[in-house]
Amino acid sequence: MREWWIHVGLICIPLVAVYLHIPPPQLSPALQKWHSAGEVFHFRGRRIFYRDSYGALGSSDVVILLHGFPTSSYDWNKIWEPLTQRFHRVIALDFLGFGFSDKPRPHRYSIFEQASVVEALVAHLGLSNQRVNLVSHDYGDTVALELLYRSDQNRTGHLTFNSLCLSNGGVFPETHYPRLLQMLLKDSSFLAPLLTRLTNYVIFQKGIGEVFGPYTQPTDAEFWDMWTGLRYNDGNLVLDSILQYINQRLKHRERWVGALTSTFVPLHMIYGPLDPVNPHPQFIRLYQQLVQRSTVTILDEHISHYPQLEDPTGFLNAYFNFIHSF
């Protein structure tokens, strides 16, 4: 009996070793097209991927799109072309540790650094003196609030706001409910290295699927593109470090919520109400109570955490109505 278990162990050990080092999947044609249309700039020696499309003639308006966790700038692909018909320039980046950008490890990822990445991109593109419109989602909402703080509060910012549109971000720690795997990764230094290596497509698909509505689930190809972007440059191995942003939101709540509640920059919130991470009605009630200068669009009741992917038409209509209101 003992020899039988030894043989099983000898077989399983190399299989597990191979499993934990599965190479990342190949880019789909759609993701390859997105990648090929982008460029790279360097931030403190790290490569940052971005896209910069010129669009509407006769307009000088610029919009910058800030994606969420754990995905990438490709989250904006369904609304990219309509935005180029309205704005002179449409810009999006992959934050450090995400998508096609570098994913250094070990590294202390922070919202503050990501805000500096955005400022560096703005400078790189020659837009430091240009008023820009920001659209953000999830993790990107908090980056946007740090940029807003720098611009409004301590005047050290290198980005001049024309407007800010948030969407389904956990800007209030008290109404934010991270998923179980996120909690394990951010708080368990012992388990995190193992969990990041054990996270596979099936686990990822289940987790992402839970934050989409039942009638707005991604296709198999869309799930795979999200997973491919995560696995690019071994991004699964930095998830635990990036997830420290949840703790940073709590620690710096006064700074970021204070910037949101005190700004005079035109504000809008586009909200998918089926979001389990920022649930209805707790989140939106608190937002409307604290951010009284902001307008709000609540999308259809079946739209969840990724409104720009689940309801791109509703998202665009809400955003264009906001932009045309000031």
What is the tens place of the pLDDT at every residue in 243-268? 999 999 999 999 999 999 999 999 99
Q: Is residue 5 included in any domain, yes or no?
A: no
DSSP E strand stretches across the chain = 39-43, 46-54, 62-66, 89-93, 131-136, 160-167, 267-271, 295-298
User: Which of 186-190, 210-214, 286-290 has the lowest average pLDDT?
Assistant: 186-190
Average pLDDT over residues 28-53: 98
What pLDDT sits at residue 64? 98
Percent of the chain's residues with pLDDT above 70: 93
pLDDT band at residue 20, thresholds of 50, 70 and 90?
Answer: low
Return the structure tokens found at 177: 């409910």
Instruction: Report the pLDDT averaged over residues 4-21.
Output: 49
Non-local CB neighbours of 274 within 8 Å, separated by 6+ positions: 213, 280, 301, 302, 303, 304, 305
- CATH code at position 120: 3.40.50.1820
For residue 323, the model assigns a pLDDT of 97
Give the pLDDT score at 9: 46
Query: Residue 4 falls within a domain, yes or no?
Result: no
Q: What pLDDT does residue 18 have?
A: 47
Q: Do the beta carbons of residue 120 and residue 41 sit within 8 Å?
A: yes
Mean pLDDT of all residues in 176-186: 87
- Work out the mean pLDDT of the chain and round it to a whole number: 93
Whether 297 is in a domain gets the answer: yes
Evaluate whether residue 3 is within a structural domain.
no
What is the number of domains present in the chain? 1
Q: Which domain holds residue 52?
A: 25-324
Domain assignment present for 236: yes
pLDDT in tens, 198-228: 999 999 999 999 999 999 999 999 999 999 9
- 301 lies in some domain: yes
pLDDT score, position 10: 44
pLDDT at 8 over 90: no
Q: Identify the residue with better confidence: 24 or 272.
A: 272
- Across residues 130-159, what is the average pLDDT? 92
Nearest to 89 by CA among 76, 80, 97, 98: 80
Closest by CA position to 181, among listed 279, 73, 282, 277: 277
The answer to the question of residue 20 being in a domain is: no
Examine residue 1 and state whether it is found in any structural domain, yes or no.
Answer: no
Query: For the CA atoms of the chain, what is the radius of gyration?
Result: 20
